[in-house]
């Protein structure tokens, strides 16, 4: 391995990934580094990742970003969850919210108490006991003390990159305009030495971050790292995006609308709506998918629909030699649960924690790749769950998804929940309550509950459930409308 001190970091590519990396490195440890970001105005970014999950708040705290300023700059709104329409079955909906449902006890999660209440006929929907879910369906929002309401954001991803660029440049990051023509490697070590631009400029460095999108110019074209194809589990390979004018006040959640061949997103910003459709080209043509999308949008088109092709999967290594892939260069997971920016963030924060200041070591690389793999595979399995567990059998696409083989760990998790109602969080993974919300929402009801629940009499259980539901309703009733909070807190 290369034991030379890392003094210069070169970031290839801008966009959300490049500027998140630049801003974070510059803000936290940039005093000791020379940071250069290379990007070309001629190369566009995907720029459709407009929905996030709550972990982005921690990234902003790390960078000391003012929330209201960020939301104004990105025309942002608040997001309490995702409403899944027609997923479990046609005309059946549920909302996966960011909060915790009900109250657990030391031996068993709330779902066990709910299951008995349901069996006895006096429990409401599982989501009735989640504050974020009830706030979302009533389109209410406010920031509560002690993070009492978990939330994320809808935002303009392109403007977010520009917002982070200001922070990065204020902290000393140098931006170089240009296209990368050649990647020069050391003959002996295979490490990247220099990026040669089309204008002849040479940019050398010690550590290179590949943020070049699906082209993966450094991690794949130069280093031939390899790619794991996950399309046998997630068969969708295409997306179409289009922006429209707003026709109503923004909802405090993302809409995910299932189609016979995939699903459609609808994401409300302050000034417009982001729309798109994700589909499998084996079951529908690009033109028919485009027609389905345009036939199910509201408002006037602000952009022309554009088709984006992808292959679900990830690089065999996210860190290879002196190159780390961030964003689409490291792989692709469809945006069903808004994990794309989270995975960028986690890679960047992991790099900060393991920054190879005194030289690049194989142990660091192995640990980094192992942690990244766990996060990617967990997010992958959570997305597969939506396709595997449902009651739809109305089209070849959904029939295929129900019948397909799935990863062994996911199959175990589903079977464990089905038989016992148990869900266990592993290695501080991202999703916790979410597994229960989605499995129940998709129609998987456990066959049994934990025996500790029987310590409660039916009357005690009824009061327990009613008390939680009443507390949730009481808080929601006091919250202002989502639009009213935006107008007061972060109007554009």
**Tens of pLDDT, residues 287-333:** 999 999 999 999 999 999 999 999 999 999 999 999 999 999 999 99
Domain covering 81-150+238-309+393-492 in this structure, CATH number = 3.50.50.60
Q: What are 7's two structure tokens?
A: 């003094």
Stretch 83-102: mean pLDDT: 96
Given this model, what pLDDT does residue 198 score?
A: 96
- Is the pLDDT confidence value at 44 over 70? no
Given this model, what pLDDT does residue 199 score?
A: 95
- Is the pLDDT confidence value at 49 over 80? no
Stretch 171-187: mean pLDDT: 97
Stretch 402-429: mean pLDDT: 93
8-50+156-227+315-360 architecture in CATH? 3-Layer(bba) Sandwich (3.50)
Return d(Cα 441, Cα 366) in angstroms, integer: 37
Quick one: which of 437, 338, 385 has its CA closest to 111? 437
Angle formed at CA 22 by CA 191 and CA 189, multiple of 5 degrees: 5
Quick one: which of 266, 274, 264, 278 has its CA closest to 309? 278
Residue ranges of the chain that CATH labels 3.50.50.60: 8-50+156-227+315-360, 81-150+238-309+393-492
Stretch 349-376: mean pLDDT: 96
- Is the pLDDT confidence value at 45 over 60? no
Q: How far is CA 149 from the centre of its chain?
A: 19
Q: Give the pLDDT band of residue 41 (cuts 50, 70, 90).
A: confident
Q: Give the pLDDT band of residue 2 (cuts 50, 70, 90).
A: low
Q: Give the pLDDT band of residue 449 (cuts 50, 70, 90).
A: very high
Beta carbons of 271 and 299 less than 8 angstroms apart? no
The residues near 134 (Cβ < 8 Å, ≥ 6 apart) are: 127, 128, 472, 473, 476
Q: What is the pLDDT of residues 238-280, one digit of tens each?
A: 999 999 999 999 999 999 999 999 999 999 999 999 999 999 9
Q: Give the pLDDT band of residue 75 (cuts 50, 70, 90).
A: very high
Given this model, what pLDDT does residue 431 score?
A: 78
Beta carbons of 295 and 327 less than 8 angstroms apart? no
Instruction: Report in angstroms the alpha-carbon separations of 226 from 30, 140, 313, 354, 360.
Output: 31, 46, 11, 23, 21
Q: How many residues does the chain have?
A: 492
Quick one: which of 7, 10, 30, 4 has its CA closest to 202? 10
Strand partners, 259: 262
Q: Give the pLDDT band of residue 427 (cuts 50, 70, 90).
A: confident
Mean pLDDT, the chain, whole residue set: 95
Beta carbons of 115 and 449 less than 8 angstroms apart? yes
Return d(Cα 69, Cα 66) in angstroms, integer: 5
| Beta strands 34-39 and 174-177, pairing class | parallel
- Is the pLDDT confidence value at 192 over 70? yes
Quick one: which of 87, 105, 106, 104 has its CA closest to 96? 87
Q: In what order do the strands lie in the sheet with 81-89?
A: 92-97, 81-89, 254-259, 262-268, 273-279, 238-244, 306-309
Place of tokens 């460095």: 205
Helix, strand, coil percentages, rounded to 5, for the chain: 40, 20, 40
Given this model, what pLDDT does residue 429 score?
A: 76
Place of tokens 């029939």: 399
Return d(Cα 145, Cα 176) in angstroms, integer: 43
DSSP result, 292-304: HHHTT--S-BSS-
Beta carbons of 214 and 328 less than 8 angstroms apart? yes
Instruction: Report in angstroms the alpha-carbon separations of 444 from 82, 405, 423, 490.
Output: 18, 18, 13, 40
Is the model's pTM score more than 0.85? yes
What is the percent of the chain with per-residue pLDDT over 70, rounded to a whole number?
98
> Cα(first)–Cα(last) distance of the chain, in Å?
50
Q: What are 40's two structure tokens?
A: 């070309």
Return d(Cα 379, Cα 384) in angstroms, integer: 9
What is the percent of the chain with per-residue pLDDT over 90, rounded to a whole number?
93
Given this model, what pLDDT does residue 428 score?
A: 74
Beta carbons of 173 and 146 less than 8 angstroms apart? no
Quick one: which of 298, 257, 235 has its CA closest to 90? 257
């Amino acid at each position: 391995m290369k034991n030379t001190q890392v003094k210069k970091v070169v970031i290839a590519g801008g966009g959300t990934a490049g500027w998140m990396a630049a801003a974070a490195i510059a803000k936290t440890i940039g005093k000791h580094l020379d940071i250069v970001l290379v990007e070309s105005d001629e190369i566009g970014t995907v720029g459709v990742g407009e929905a996030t999950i709550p972990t982005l708040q921690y990234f902003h705290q790390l960078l000391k970003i003012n929330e209201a300023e960020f939301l104004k700059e990105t025309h942002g709104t608040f997001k309490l969850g995702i409403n899944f329409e027609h997923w479990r079955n046609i005309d059946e909906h549920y909302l996966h919210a960011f909060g915790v449902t009900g109250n657990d006890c030391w031996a068993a999660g709330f779902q066990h108490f709910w299951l008995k209440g349901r069996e006895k006929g006096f429990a409401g929907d599982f989501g009735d006991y989640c504050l974020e879910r009830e706030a979302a369906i009533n389109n209410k929002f406010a920031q509560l003390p002690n993070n009492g309401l978990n939330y994320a954001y809808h935002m303009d991803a392109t403007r977010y990159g520009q917002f982070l660029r200001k922070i990065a440049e204020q902290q000393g990051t140098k931006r170089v305009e240009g296209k990368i023509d050649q990647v020069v490697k050391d003959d002996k070590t295979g490490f990247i030495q220099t990026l040669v631009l089309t204008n002849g400029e040479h940019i050398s460095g010690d550590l290179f971050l590949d943020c070049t999108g699906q082209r993966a110019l450094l991690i794949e074209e130069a280093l031939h790292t390899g790619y794991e194809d996950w399309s046998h589990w997630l068969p969708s390979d295409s997306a179409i995006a289009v922006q429209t004018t707003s026709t109503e006040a923004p909802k405090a959640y993302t809409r995910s609308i299932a189609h016979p061949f995939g699903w459609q997103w609808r994401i409300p910003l302050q000034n417009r709506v982001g729309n798109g459709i994700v589909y499998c080209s084996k079951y529908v043509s690009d033109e028919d998918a485009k027609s389905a999308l345009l036939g199910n949008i509201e408002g006037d088109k602000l952009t022309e629909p554009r088709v984006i092709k992808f292959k679900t999967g990830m690089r065999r290594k996210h860190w290879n030699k002196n190159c780390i892939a961030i964003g689409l260069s490291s792989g692709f997971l469809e945006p069903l649960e808004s994990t794309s920016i989270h995975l960028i963030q986690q890679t960047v924060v992991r790099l900060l924690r393991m920054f190879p200041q005194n030289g690049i070591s194989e142990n660091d690389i192995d640990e980094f790749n192992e942690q990244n793999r766990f996060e990617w595979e967990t997010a992958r399995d959570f997305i597969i769950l939506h396709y595997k567990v449902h009651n739809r059998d109305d089209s070849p696409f959904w029939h295929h998804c129900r019948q397909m083989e799935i990863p062994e760990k996911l199959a175990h998790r589903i079977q464990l929940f089905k038989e016992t109602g148990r869900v266990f969080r592993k290695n501080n993974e991202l999703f916790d309550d979410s597994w229960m919300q989605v499995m129940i929402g998709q129609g998987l009801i456990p066959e049994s509950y934990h025996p500790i629940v029987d310590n409660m009499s039916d009357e005690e259980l009824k009061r327990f459930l009613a008390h939680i539901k009443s507390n949730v309703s009481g808080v929601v009733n006091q919250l202002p409308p989502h639009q009213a909070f935006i107008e007061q807190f972060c109007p554009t």
